[in-house]
Amino acid sequence: MRRKQKKALIRIIVAAVLMVVLGLVSHFTNIHEYVLFALYMVPYLVVGYDVLWKAVKGIGRGQVFDENFLMAFATIGAIVLQEYTEGVAVMLFYQIGELFQSIAVGKSRKNIADLMDIRPDYANIEEDGKLVQVDPDTLEPGSVIVVEPGERIPIDGVVIEGESSLNNSALTGESLPVDVGPDSPVNSGGINLSGVLKVRTTKAFGESTASKILELVENAGSRKAKAENFITKFAKYYTPAVVAAAVLLALAPPLARLAMSLDPLWTQWVYRALTFLVISCPCAIVVSVPLSFFGGIGGASNAGILIKGSNYMETLANIRTVVFDKTGTLTRGNFAVTGVHHSELEDEELLRLAAHAESHSPHPIAKSIMAAYGKELDPSLVSDVREISGHGVTATVDGHEVAAGNNRLMTSLGIPFHDCHSIGTIVHVAIDGEYAGHIVISDELKEHSKEAIARLKEAGIRKTVMLTGDNEAAAKQIAEYINVNEVHAGLLPADKVTIVERLLQKQDKREALAFVGDGMNDAPVLARADLGIAMGALGSDAAIEAADVVLMDDDPLKISKAVRIARKCMRIVKTNIWFAIGVKFACLILGALGIANMWIAIFADVGVMVLCVLNAIRCLFVKKL
Amino acid sequence: MKSYKIYVDCANCAAKMEEAVRKTEGIADATVNFMALKMNVEFEEGADEKKVMKKALKNARKVDDDIEIEF
């Protein structure tokens, strides 16, 4: 608690004790009216002097609708009506509300600051064989820094010496450590777990990942959601309207009664008008709505999901259609051996021979076969390599004549082969003139792609669409396997925009469409969709720039998580808005009818605010979604 | 667009402060982020930042005494 808050708490306690004692004393004894008034002024002034002072200053500046003025007016009014306890109590609860709000907001600010505590304070550089801590802001790109175990990497760079594993969970939400060695790129914000690393920085501190993420999250609140704009507008009209209603309530009924030559009952109507003033502050909603968004955005970023503004949070919650660009989001985007079929030999032996035969080829297919074999190649085993362009390769490997290539190669060699029903590129292998099976190479589906689609459907996404430049057959098979509703294949980049536009036209106005891409070459589509989501953005500035929502790692499961976070946040925002407005209006009506007194009015003001703020804080907790 | 650190007590004051700063001469647009205690300001062309911000602070203080803007 800050000093200001402590002081406020002490004032509240003192005033509360005095108020209760006075209440008891006046109940059991007969104190003269003036003495009682004087006694009640003590707790009133203790708890409310600053509000009164601010009200006076506010009047000087023409701020009549200021909360301080309204509170001062309502409480002084109550005291004039000789409702001393209520006058003091309203001021007291008002101050409790203010204190609570300031503590709650301060706490969640701190919570989020802790969650986002990824900005390193220093960098180590070597000077005369000793490590010196310097301000990372002063280092130029290309400097060499040393990161010891347990330290945070301060600046993006490339490892030049040392091996270690990194915990990037502050950036991606993924706690599995990542192994790094010489030439591995590293991002600021990650924690070095085991070995000492020497890193050559590639960026300035301010341009590094950690700084960028922080900047993004801090600025997210500036892009306001519709709900926030609604609240600002509402607050602007609400207070003056309630005050006007109060004036009307204080004057109209008594005057009407006078005209009918009844007793005007001035006290009663003025009292009812004063209860209006107590309910006139829109604080509950005004504080809880931005707090909810701030909490939701903070919680999401801790899970590796960056939402660039409250407005995007709102759109995210309304998504009913998700369009995927296949490569890089549902599939890994790198070619790999996904199967070895009809092999007469051990799969590994087939791969060994094929890998050696292909060892001189720079082709990506050859590379993926070598990667699948995974062991050191022995060049001395390979001779007589003959590359036949558009067909494949023949070579002598370890004493065997090996031919590896497509259907045409097999046909030209006169070797009968099994055609393959699998999707992808097929490399047939023949050994010593005999067919030995084939290797299937395709873009690997990500581990969680199927589950991700299922989760999205669970989360209420009605339509999932996959777009790809691949051929129809390959695309259909994947689409069926992961169970997307619609697939469009053989697309050029421009076609993707057209299809997204068509989908946008078809959908209901209240619904939204998200496009998920890797952010590298789909910027136009990301921009065209209601919401652009970029995946695998860690280390890619372009992706972070292009999208509205950024998933730091490339796990497609995060998409449904993001939707769930947004839904929860929006649900809380809406509940708060309707609850606060509902209770306030109910109390206004009851107050006008004389059923609700000032005690109920102060609940409508402070109680509702406390409840809304507590509810809003729930937005921070997104781990289990 | 420039970003300033601010201090403001309550959410309602933040909304009023935004309004007040926005109306200041020389400022095209302003958004107050109450939770992050930051304010983004877009100036009109040719506006003198220091002068305009001084005026903006004065206008903001008219709404609430406790407002601070670091510039």
pLDDT in tens, A539-573: 677 777 778 999 888 889 999 999 999 999 999 99
Tens-place pLDDT, residues A298-329: 889 888 898 999 999 999 999 999 999 887 78
Q: Is B9 on the interface with A (CB under 8 A)?
A: yes
Q: Is B40 on the interface with A (CB under 8 A)?
A: yes
Mean pLDDT of chain A: 87
Q: Sort out which chain A residues have CB atoms less than 8 A from B36's CB and list them.
A: 109, 218-219, 221, 294
Predicted local distance difference test score (pLDDT) of residue A487: 93
Closest residue in B to A55 (Cα–Cα): B64
Distance CA A369, CA A331 (A): 18
Q: Is A218 on the interface with B (CB under 8 A)?
A: yes
- Percent of chain B residues past pLDDT 90, beyond the cut: 35
C-alpha distances in angstroms, A170 versus A299, A552, A553, B28? 11, 10, 11, 37
Angle between helices A226-259 and A283-302 (to 10 degrees): 170
Predicted local distance difference test score (pLDDT) of residue A423: 67
Any idea which fold A123-212 has? 2.70.150
- For A333-445, the fitting CATH number among 3.40.1110.10, 1.20.140.10, 3.30.2270.10, 3.40.50.11310 is 3.40.1110.10
Predicted local distance difference test score (pLDDT) of residue A171: 82
**Does the pLDDT at position A146 exceed 90?**
yes
Q: Where are the beta strands (DSSP E) in A128-183?
A: 130-134, 144-147, 157-161, 164-167, 178-180
Task: Check: CB of residue A546 under 8 Å from CB of residue A526.
Answer: yes
Predicted local distance difference test score (pLDDT) of residue A198: 93
Q: Does B11 contact A290 at a Cβ distance shorter than 8 Å? A: yes
Q: Sort out which chain A residues have CB atoms less than 8 A from B40's CB and list them.
A: 219, 222
Task: Check: CB of residue A378 under 8 Å from CB of residue A399.
Answer: no
Predicted local distance difference test score (pLDDT) of residue A539: 65
Other residues' Cβ atoms within 10 Å of the Cβ of residue B51: 11
- E strand or H helix at B5, and its extent? strand B2-7
Mean pLDDT of A608-613: 91
Mean pLDDT of B4-30: 87
C-alpha distances in angstroms, A292 versus A96, A171, A282, A287, B36? 21, 22, 16, 9, 13
Predicted local distance difference test score (pLDDT) of residue A1: 63
Sign of CA dihedral A14, A15, A16, A22: positive
Closest residue in A to B2 (Cα–Cα): A219
Same fold, A123-212 and A333-445: no
Mean pLDDT of A236-262: 91
Residue A57 banded pLDDT, cuts 50, 70, 90: confident
State the Cα torsion A601-A603-A604-A605 to the nearest 10°: 90
Q: Is B37 on the interface with A (CB under 8 A)?
A: yes
Q: Is B36 on the interface with A (CB under 8 A)?
A: yes
Instruction: Name the H helices within A159-225.
Output: 169-172, 209-220
Predicted local distance difference test score (pLDDT) of residue A77: 92
Task: Check: CB of residue A203 under 8 Å from CB of residue A193.
Answer: no
Q: Does B35 contact A294 at a Cβ distance shorter than 8 Å? A: yes
Tens-place pLDDT, residues A576-585: 999 999 999 9
Q: Sort out which chain B residues have CB atoms less than 8 A from A109's CB and list them.
A: 35-37
Q: Sort out which chain A residues have CB atoms less than 8 A from B37's CB and list them.
A: 109
Q: Does B11 contact A291 at a Cβ distance shorter than 8 Å? A: yes
- Radius of gyration in angstroms for the set of CA atoms belonging to chain A, rounded to a whole number: 35
Nearest to B10 among A61, A63, A101 (CB): A101
Nearest to A290 among B9, B35, B63 (CB): B35
Distance CA A351, CA A200 (A): 38
Tens-place pLDDT, residues A254-284: 999 999 988 888 889 999 999 998 888 887 7
Q: Does A287 contact B10 at a Cβ distance shorter than 8 Å? A: yes
Q: Does B62 contact A283 at a Cβ distance shorter than 8 Å? A: no
Residues 6+ apart with CB under 8 A from A270: A77, A81, A250
Tell me if residue A325 is catalytic: yes
A487 three-state secondary structure: strand
Cβ contacts from A onto B, under 8 A: 63
C-alpha distances in angstroms, A574 versus A314, A444, A577, A585? 11, 42, 5, 16
pTM of the model: 0.81
Distance CA A440, CA A527 (A): 36
A455 three-state secondary structure: helix
Mean pLDDT of A601-622: 89
What value, to the nearest 5°, has the Cα angle with vertex A466 and ends A465 and A469? 145
Predicted local distance difference test score (pLDDT) of residue A175: 75
Instruction: Name the H helices within A84-125.
Output: 84-115
Q: Which residue shows structure tokens 């509240």? A: A12
Predicted local distance difference test score (pLDDT) of residue A603: 85
Q: Is B35 on the interface with A (CB under 8 A)?
A: yes
Sign of CA dihedral A621, A311, A306, B67: negative
Q: Does A287 contact B62 at a Cβ distance shorter than 8 Å? A: no
Q: What is the ipTM of this complex?
A: 0.80
Q: Is A377 on the interface with B (CB under 8 A)?
A: no
Q: The tokens of A604 are what?
A: 């409508």
A335 three-state secondary structure: strand
Tens-place pLDDT, residues A107-128: 888 877 777 677 778 899 988 8
Residue A75 banded pLDDT, cuts 50, 70, 90: very high
Q: Where are the domains of chain A?
A: 123-212, 333-445
Q: Is A282 on the interface with B (CB under 8 A)?
A: yes
Residue type, A121: D
Q: Does A67 contact B12 at a Cβ distance shorter than 8 Å? A: yes
Q: Sort out which chain A residues have CB atoms less than 8 A from B62's CB and list them.
A: 61, 63
**Does the pLDDT at position A191 exceed 80?**
yes
Mean pLDDT of A153-178: 88
Distance CA A602, CA A293 (A): 26
Q: Is A105 on the interface with B (CB under 8 A)?
A: yes
Interface of A with B in 50-79 (CB under 8 A): 54, 57, 61, 63, 66-67
Pick the catalytic residue: A128, A137, A263, A325? Answer: A325
Q: Which of A372, A326, A333 is nearest to A482 (CA)?
A: A326
Q: Does B10 contact A98 at a Cβ distance shorter than 8 Å? A: yes
- E strand or H helix at B17, and its extent? helix B11-22
Residue type, B28: A
Q: The tokens of A196 are what?
A: 């000492």
Q: The tokens of B27 are what?
A: 């400022």
- Which domains are delineated in chain B? 2-70 (3.30.70.100)
Q: The tokens of A476 are what?
A: 């259909």
- E strand or H helix at A587, and its extent? helix A557-593
Q: What is residue A181's DSSP assignment?
A: -
Q: Which of A105, A111, A238 to mutate to test the interface with B (most CBs of B within 10 A)?
A: A105
A307 three-state secondary structure: strand
Residue A405 banded pLDDT, cuts 50, 70, 90: confident
Q: Sort out which chain B residues have CB atoms less than 8 A from A232's CB and list them.
A: 15
Distance CA A192, CA A166 (A): 5
Residue type, B51: K
More confident residue, A537 or A534: A534
Q: What is residue A470's DSSP assignment?
A: S
Q: Does A98 contact B63 at a Cβ distance shorter than 8 Å? A: no
**Does the pLDDT at position A495 exceed 80?**
yes
